[in-house]
Amino acid sequence: MLPGRRFRDALDYAARLHAEQRRKVDDTPYVAHLLAVTAIVLEHGGDEEEAIAALLHDAIEDQGGEATRCEIGARFGPGVLEIVEGCTDSDTTPKPPWRERKEAFLARLRDAKPSVRLVCAADKLHNCRCLARDLRRLGPALWEHFRGGREGTLWYHRAVVDTLSAHGPTPLLDELRRAVEELDRVAP
């Protein structure tokens, strides 16, 4: 897939939406995560709608809730919006308690369409890779950055793998499983 005008518009929109946002641990500009997730989606056969949704997968949750939802739908269409909504674990402020929010997301993921599962798996794969890298660098202090702490964060990533596994194996799911297993190995 060669990125078209819609993709370039989504890239610009995502960069502007997340311009001031940084990753939790190392202050990396958040757009780096969005680009990494998009690359993983494209490397695993994602189409333009899935790539656009990968760029925008955290937009509703982190950058404006309902107003952002409406703008994504108007600018990029119902297919992209459906994927982004499927990847959103909360769109309310304040967010529900962490464990409750994650359990609700996992329940929705069980019945999610393949496009949602693709973007979600790519997101979690990039997150696990970053967690393992940061854990090697920071040690146990890493867990202070996450509401679920060590146990909750590991539980959640294992549960995502288990939930996605119900739909059968994929190369991306295999990569995610290996990343979660590595995270388990390096987590003190």
Is 48 considered catalytic here? no
- 183 HSE (CA, 13 A, CB side): 28
Write down the pLDDT at residue 36: 98
**Domains (ranges, CATH) in the chain?**
5-186 (1.10.3210.10)
Write down the pLDDT at residue 48: 96
Is there a cis peptide before residue 94, judged by omega within 30 degrees of 0? yes
Is 12 considered catalytic here? no
Cβ contacts of 51 within 8 Å, gap of 6 or more: 1, 3, 7, 10, 38, 41, 42
Catalytic residue selected from 48, 49, 58, 61: 61
Catalytic residue selected from 9, 62, 103, 134: 62
Token pair for 49? 């709608």
3 state SS for the chain: CCCCHHHHHHHHHHHHHCCCCECCCCCCECHHHHHHHHHHHHHCCCCHHHHHHHHHCCHHHHCCHHHHHHHHHHHHHHHHHHHHHHHCCCCCCCCCCHHHHHHHHHHHHHCCCHHHHHHHHHHHHHHHHHHHHHHHHHHHHHHHHCCCHHHHHHHHHHHHHHHHHCCCCCHHHHHHHHHHHHHHHHCC
| pLDDT in single tens digits along all 188 residues of the chain | 667 899 999 999 999 999 988 888 888 999 999 999 999 999 999 999 999 999 999 999 988 888 999 999 999 999 999 999 999 998 888 889 999 999 999 999 999 999 999 999 999 999 999 999 999 999 999 999 999 999 999 999 999 999 999 999 999 999 999 999 999 998 87
Write down the pLDDT at residue 65: 84
